[in-house]
Amino acid sequence: MDPYQAGYSPVHHTDARVKVVFSVAFILTTALIPIGSWPMFVLLYAILFSLIILADVGVGRVLQRSILAVPFVLAALPLVFTTSGEQILILDLGLWRVTATSEGVEKFLSIGLKSWISIQAATLLIFTTQFPDILAALRALRVPRLLVAIFGLMWRYLFVLADEAIKLRRARAARSGDSGIRGMNKGGSVSWRAKIAGGMAGSLFIRSLDRSERIYVAMLSRGYDGEVRSIPLSRLKPSQWTILIFGLGILGIIMLISALFWG
Amino acid sequence: MHHSIEIEGLSFSYPDGQEALRDVSLAIQPGEKVALVGPNGAGKSTLLLNLNGILAGNGSITVCGLRVEKETLGRVRAMVGMVFQSPDDQLFSPRVFDDVAYGPLYQGLPLETVHERVSESLAAVSMSDYAQRVSHHLSMGEKKRIAIATVLSMNPEVLVLDEPTAGLDPRARRSLINLLDELPLTMIVSTHDMPLVKDLFARMVILDRGSVVADGATNELMDDIHLLEAHGLERPY
């Protein structure tokens, strides 16, 4: 379940702080470039695509993960019909009459592309950086410690929870048998199965709650006082600074060009 | 007459490449009670999960004359009652009754049969009064008994238990041992509880690093202190 893909590429070796800052800046740039500035989209994606190739994590795997962008794209779909502008299509749906505008389509495509590119940038980050390193980088970047601690605990226990869910499903499968009597309709009704699945989800929830209390007690008994302490990271090396400044510089130029020509 | 369980040349590797079972062969007679012992990570649980096809390795497994394969999984799972180590995994319904009724209901049995099966199974584990209780609030010993009832309700031919006495107090442990002794089923039990093995099982199989290293009469194997020590086991006193 851990998305990290071990490797020895230059992207893997870059300091996590540089990667986190660059990824956030990249996503911000993608979000801020004006709608319809298509060459800039191509340019941004070309940069990202080169990095994916350089990281050698598999273009297919990154694209597979980018399916996560679908909900955001779908949420932008109404824009096609709600933006005013040049009408290109009129749909008659009985009571309603909706009109698609070219401005709307342009907006929708831009937002869809922005989500898709951003998700891939985030995917590249988690594919090439181990999660504890991302957390350390966030702390170094002065993200509130409590927030980072919550991310960390969530990450740690997500696997435990997934494990428990697998065990529950195994226990269910082990008792999902066939009586061997002809004419018996095995499997039960849909509503009964839904009830069972609900019971499983409930039991998982109760156990997670119990576990979280045990974890908290274990933390308290080791002296936890609400403050998470960690060993500070070493200073960023000059070579890493160079990479960071170069990367941010390129993003800055893209922002400038898009503001000049499409702004 | 067929064996209750017949395993031939079973090997199993986890997706990460870790080899858990290596060419395991084992035959268990109907009504026989066999203990499966060995150090942590020996492959005991993996072997048990292969018996009802939750995990599928290379080699052949026959349960009550039925080859374990995709088409027979439903029948096999009805015949092999598997009691997991943690009763919390096994008891996934809010109430005891729902959990014990799960197997028969899944099989689509008529409601009267389901009720009969539930009361029979709860009676078999001496927990008849617990049908309407909430599983979450039971003690460990009670949960273990209910977990056994949830598979007895399927009328299995073979009972498979993973670490049945782990985490039980002496009294709960003793009463569970008496229960296992009374149940007239073929039984295969993985455990670290050597006194339990000595008390209850005439036959013992030692598994280490995925292979069967010894299979024989419990009293004879228990006398071979070197063998026990070599596989991280202790002779009970």
Question: What would you report as the CA-atom Rg of chain A, rounded to the nearest whole angstrom?
Answer: 25
Look at residue A224 in the predicted model and tell me its pLDDT.
72
Environment class of B39 (CB within 10 Å of its CB; exposed 0-12, middle 13-18, buried 19+) = middle
pLDDT for A223: 66
List chain A residues with CB under 8 Å of B154.
175, 177
Q: How far apart are CA B45 and CA B195, in angstroms?
A: 20
What's the DSSP call for residue A66? Answer: G
Checking if the pLDDT of B55 tops 80, the result is yes
Single out the residue of B176, B169, B171 nearest to residue B147, CA to CA: B176
Structure tokens at A240: 């890493």
* Average pLDDT rounded to a whole number, residues B165-179: 90
* B1, pLDDT greater than 60: no
Ranges of each domain in chain A? 10-140+236-262, 144-175+195-230
| Average pLDDT over every residue of B32-59 | 91
> Chain-centre distance of CA B159, in angstroms?
5
Question: Residue B75's closest CA among B188, B155, B149, B186?
Answer: B155
Q: Which residues of A touch B91 (CB under 8 A)?
A: 203
pLDDT in tens, chain A (263 residues): 678 888 899 999 999 999 999 999 999 999 999 988 899 999 999 999 999 999 999 899 999 999 988 988 898 888 888 888 888 888 777 777 888 888 888 899 999 999 999 999 999 999 999 888 898 899 889 898 888 888 888 887 887 888 888 889 999 998 888 887 877 777 878 898 898 899 899 888 888 888 888 877 777 777 677 666 667 788 889 999 999 999 999 999 999 998 888 87
Q: B89-100: string of b/e by CB count within 10 Å (b at 16+)?
A: bbbbbbbbbbbb
Whether the CB of B117 is below 8 Å from some CB of chain A: the reply is no
User: A102 CA to chain B: closest CA distance, Å?
Assistant: 50
Which residues of chain B are within 8 Å of residue A170 when distances are taken between CB atoms?
Answer: 49, 54, 84, 89
> How far apart are the C-alpha atoms of B231 and A179, rounded to whole Å?
40
Q: With CB atoms and an 8 Å threshold, state whether B75 touches A178.
A: yes
Q: What phi and psi, each to the nearest 5 degrees, are found at residue A239? A: -60, -35
CB contact B150 to A (< 8 Å): yes
Across the interface, whether the CB atoms of B92 and A172 are under 8 A apart is answered: yes
**Interface pTM, i.e. ipTM:** 0.73
pLDDT, mean of residues B190-196: 93
pLDDT at A110: 92
Which fold is adopted by the domain B5-230?
A: Rossmann fold (3.40.50)
**Is the model's pLDDT at B209 over the cut of 80?**
yes
Is the pLDDT assigned to residue B34 strictly greater than 90?
A: yes
Q: How close is the nearest chain A Cα to the Cα of B98, in Å?
A: 9
Q: How far apart are CA A115 and CA A132, in angstroms?
A: 26
Which pTM was predicted?
0.71
SS3 A180: coil
Domain ranges of chain B: 5-230
Question: What is the count of residue pairs from A and B with beta carbons less than 8 Å apart?
Answer: 95
